[in-house]
Structure 1
């Protein structure tokens, strides 16, 4: 049978199930990626699982999000993460070494491998011909412990590329074109696979940009073939020995197809406040800009920074504009400096920040109220920047640099007329400045066994969650609309994220972006009835951070009723024992109001047998039909109280049965 690249990756790692779209499959995982905003919980989960040593080929913990050290919290968490890596046998990437996704691509990515990461942009590694999937931290922890990853078999969506990008456009405009066409949930339960003659014109790092932001389409993952462009990238990283060709069979087919003629792509921009709100730059040109930020995992390559440097060389950024540059890896910063590009940026008025995610996650660089910020980042959800009522646009490096020069949104194609600026032709080094000095390798097993976890006062143990009740009668604490993001459920930023490993404290920020009274109200019912949240479509889009499931659960969340869920958050809810149910009739979402008391009975039997679940609105004398989309495995996991208690129970049962295996 002829396979496309995604099917080859899945088939070679399939340990259970069949490759039938919609059915549950289990995949063996080769690599894992964690970052510090989510990794602390992963390490606590490894401790809770009683892990002796990582069972994966490669697992890496990066420190790239929480780099600001306003007090001791972040520094203490970094000490904890390092000690956990030494204890459990993981690589540790020190603060300042680089953003996880480009750094992993440079140092550890290998064609043909599978990877899960506790960051929704993990699919960026698909640029190298890997199957990389963003999941919740609990699933990363279980993968590190040697468990398969379970998910619904996605459809494979083939995107055929032809032609070549014209001047003043780049890979960011390609993924923005996909978002313009399909919005933020157009690729839900699908893997995007790019193919066609246009691929030969896109470097591996160009592909990284496209694969990274497939997450904004709701895609399970994005894959590219491992071809000569991938070989060239690995050669430049002095890792050509890791190259394995991985191509689709000549007569491979896809569940659905799309085509983009690269030569017709124009500069695009995502207007506030959604990555799916994409328009041509010329439609919004002239709007004033107070801030331009270059960096993040969405535009992390040397080419992206060098292009901006070449465009501003010998010029000065606009008066009153904050021009911020966040290098994506220490290695790329070294190359920029060797090329003289760092000097060109600084001379043009750029503020050079430390290597890391920074403004992308709201860790500094928050814009002023009432001003526009242009960013080469993947997300512009409301408040994600650190400013509650922000106005953030997402764009390519070319469009960002044009705004830095003019002080307003400007189509970069107009720079020739405005400044006499021709499209720069870059000469990038053939060999990268490989630097592994800030990577700490795993300890030998005998040394690791002697390591004690270093826990500062800001690190708490995981909460204990009880099995799912058979009968739930609880008030509705919130009724929400469509496309609520995990940033709105549990905000990022410098105020909240330092408490990422202190669940009781972090819980105080839950839904603060939406309703500042939520926490006080639900605490009144936490130890009695708990509460319910009602939402529209695509509930929980965005970041994979499982805190957005844990803190509401800690505050007494029992059930979420929604029209539909984003994949990762849906999994995270189940992992932590929260029942996620979908309305059979989407109109029922609008019939429920905050404060209504809902009753669900016979849940354990209904979940196991697949019987219809009825929700009784005791306040309004109404009934609603709802359904779950959980697999048999997930039902048992949910009934046990979540993934960790279910695995512990299973492990305990296996040890009591002679000859049993995990």
Structure 2
């Protein structure tokens, strides 16, 4: 695999020319054309799709309107509640509400099914589509029933990726979907486009997760595609089945790219035809001369079966490399755990080595990444006639949709799997975020799913529990299962892959999915459950601000799972204050209490009192500030909390990573950089200031008070350097905060206090 240091030109879809002094001459000699990089950049597939959906009139500052929206049952309640509070009357474009995250209804009494009934009644009232629990995971339904060539889809899940079908899809926090529901736009600068040039054919036993992990391992740490669009081109694309392309595509999220798009061909047309939607096919190819801001060149035949060890999809090795260096690599993982868990628990992976081989406790093939038809068929071929054993090792398989499940039953793959001792379950996203299939303490799980962050498998460090996940392809998971838990590469198995043809039967959807066909029925009463709560009132940005630092995180990257845990906490996402009780609970358990104490000062201000009447600790801070800023009063002051993290926001699109801080009185984050655009957008949409500070020694520490004078004026005047002070020992010690670019709408949202206030006027 090669990452180009500069941009690159793609000529006729088959020849790469690296940008440089001789590039223009080479292009002219090959094509007879003279073209600049800026003109050639307009010939990418991504540029064409973005242009068709842009409403701003400027391709530098995009204002995108999407064709369709999709959400699942831990995001759609909050989205619709926000939109309702902002004046929603009807879904203006197709909006699909799937139920694949809290579908087990295993936590919190009736609250999960209450959310589902909320979704069904809203689909009826506002004119949407409702997919009942166990029918399909969000992204498989979108592939089967929503995607279309040249279209754009926005989803409230970070793995919203349908590029392999010619659809540019983006996963964002809920407020961005609210904007679309209110007929507003998605505003971004024109993203860079990085080409992924594929040649060759994958070796036998190598699956899509292997290709994806190889890419993630190369690009993540370098930020090579961060917030850019990955465009898959080259002759190697046609050597991959569409199911295979989908398996690679969905994992592009883990590179921190903005979106993805692939060139399309007859195989994609056949996919649409199989699903009864051939009219949605569109041939997509880059122009004769296309320019890319970067280029990843991959010979697919060189990729070997891969494994991403705990605790990130970028912590990659070939399986052969891991088996050859077991103790060293496992020791490295244990050291990572020490850092990640602050020594609270001890991960012991080296004890998993038996007779020089690594023993695995659990295998799972599931969800939008692993639950595809071809993945499961190949796994069944590997396991046919074998046994997974009667010891600790277990294997669970989750087809991604009921149509996929039905076809696997018809062709015998389910029987082949179940005969081995594996369990085949219904469509469910739980293994990807810790709702179900939680391993035993100190167990090691291998999963064809999307992420392996700390605690993502469901263990709770605060309760003394620790388990860990490695990501692998379904084929190598099946090979491991065939060897009763001994880690095995699928390349080492002599298997005849039968490659049965897929037949899609949409009867189950016709029988069970509610589709309003875009017709709203205002007479329908929304069904609320007792856990579904409205958002609390939020104040506008004050003239001056006091912030108390209530958490300080120095991990290289802080995931959204650490900001607001997944798993059973997902059941409370319809209750903003109830969910907020879990904020940072696995990273900094004292955070919630500290934030609530500071919030008392702001609540006092909102009641017309002095802040110290709510929170006596702040009295000397206010006294120190007033020595130099005599105009500060309770009428123009706001008090809140902030956290510092080196690089927060990797992973999920969940807006709750920001909104939980907000409802606890958070008014800002301070970071060296933000891991993803979507997390920064979530902060802004909840009225929180996304401050930046240069790397190096911090001027403040956890527990310190910060004073940011004239912050409202600074935002209004588009300042990028903002004066601030540490309030300590009766003095104001100056330092500088930075603010990245804000759109006019983002600026106004922050000034108003949140997106809801912005739309209320």
Do the two structures share a fold, i.e. TM-score over 0.5? yes
Per-residue CA deviation, residues 521-573 of structure 1 (Å, 9 max, x unaligned), is 21111131321101102x11111111111111111111101011121110000
1:213 maps onto 2:243 in alignment? no
Tell me the secondary structure at the aligned position of residue 448 of structure 1. coil
Cα shift at 1:205: 2.1
Report what 1:488 is aligned to: 562
Tell me the secondary structure at the aligned position of residue 234 of structure 1. helix
Matches within 5 A, 1:100-179: 100-122=138-160, 124-179=161-216
Matches within 5 A, 1:46-85: 46-56=83-93, 58-70=94-106, 71-85=109-123
**Partner Cα separation in structure 2 for residue 137 and residue 108 of structure 1:** 19
Cα shift at 1:430: 4.5
**Partner Cα separation in structure 1 for residue 57 and residue 586 of structure 2:** 40
**Partner Cα separation in structure 2 for residue 479 and residue 152 of structure 1:** 31
**Partner Cα separation in structure 1 for residue 135 and residue 727 of structure 2:** 55
Per-residue CA deviation, residues 493-546 of structure 1 (Å, 9 max, x unaligned), is 12x111110111111110001011211221111131321101102x11111111
1:7 maps onto 2:54 in alignment? no
Contact 2:538 2:753 in 1 (8 A): yes
Contact 2:457 2:468 in 1 (8 A): no
Per-residue CA deviation, residues 168-216 of structure 1 (Å, 9 max, x unaligned), is 1011111111111112644212000010000001122222222211111
Tell me the secondary structure at the aligned position of residue 332 of structure 1. helix
Question: Unpaired runs of 5+ in structure 2?
Answer: 1-38, 324-356, 461-465, 602-638
Matches within 5 A, 1:568-583: 568-583=678-693
Change (3 A) 1:17 1:287: farther
Contact 1:87 1:450 in 2 (8 A): yes
191, 196, 199: which one aligns with 2:229: 191
Tell me the secondary structure at the aligned position of residue 15 of structure 1. coil
Tell me the secondary structure at the aligned position of residue 269 of structure 2. helix
Contact 1:608 1:632 in 2 (8 A): no
**Partner Cα separation in structure 1 for residue 450 and residue 745 of structure 2:** 33
Greater shift after overlay, 243-252 or 552-561? 243-252
10, 13, 16: which one aligns with 2:56: 16
Cα shift at 1:604: 1.7
Report what 1:468 is aligned to: 541
**Partner Cα separation in structure 2 for residue 403 and residue 616 of structure 1:** 57
Aligned Cα RMSD in Å?
1.6
Report what 1:531 is aligned to: 641
Report what 1:631 is aligned to: 743
**Partner Cα separation in structure 1 for residue 280 and residue 192 of structure 2:** 29
Report what 2:468 is aligned to: 391
**Partner Cα separation in structure 2 for residue 295 and residue 449 of structure 1:** 38
Cα shift at 1:602: 1.3
Contact 1:346 1:352 in 2 (8 A): yes
Cα shift at 1:443: 6.3
1:375 maps onto 2:447 in alignment? yes
**Partner Cα separation in structure 2 for residue 453 and residue 87 of structure 1:** 7
**Partner Cα separation in structure 2 for residue 443 and residue 154 of structure 1:** 34
Question: Unpaired runs of 5+ in structure 1?
Answer: 416-421, 650-662
**Partner Cα separation in structure 1 for residue 224 and residue 425 of structure 2:** 35
Tell me the secondary structure at the aligned position of residue 358 of structure 2. coil
Cα shift at 1:444: 6.7
Cα shift at 1:472: 1.4
634, 642, 648: which one aligns with 2:760: 648
**Partner Cα separation in structure 2 for residue 624 and residue 386 of structure 1:** 40
Greater gyration radius: 2
**Partner Cα separation in structure 2 for residue 55 and residue 625 of structure 1:** 40
TM-score, normalized by length of structure 1?
A: 0.93
Cα shift at 1:17: 5.6
Greater shift after overlay, 378-387 or 42-51? 42-51
Tell me the secondary structure at the aligned position of residue 423 of structure 1. coil
690, 710, 721: which one aligns with 1:602: 710
TM-score, normalized by length of structure 2?
A: 0.81
**Partner Cα separation in structure 2 for residue 478 and residue 17 of structure 1:** 43
Tell me the secondary structure at the aligned position of residue 296 of structure 2. strand
Tell me the secondary structure at the aligned position of residue 100 of structure 2. coil
Report what 1:418 is aligned to: none
Per-residue CA deviation, residues 61-118 of structure 1 (Å, 9 max, x unaligned), is 1001001223211111100111111111111111111001011101121111111000
Tell me the secondary structure at the aligned position of residue 386 of structure 1. coil
1:405 maps onto 2:514 in alignment? no
Report what 1:656 is aligned to: none
Per-residue CA deviation, residues 225-268 of structure 1 (Å, 9 max, x unaligned), is 23222101111112112212222112122111110000101111
**Partner Cα separation in structure 2 for residue 154 and residue 601 of structure 1:** 34
Contact 1:326 1:358 in 2 (8 A): no
**Partner Cα separation in structure 2 for residue 638 and residue 426 of structure 1:** 57
399, 413, 432: which one aligns with 1:360: 432
Tell me the secondary structure at the aligned position of residue 446 of structure 2. strand
**Partner Cα separation in structure 2 for residue 149 and residue 579 of structure 1:** 19
566, 579, 592: which one aligns with 1:519: 592
**Partner Cα separation in structure 1 for residue 588 and residue 737 of structure 2:** 28
1:326 maps onto 2:398 in alignment? yes
Report what 2:364 is aligned to: 293
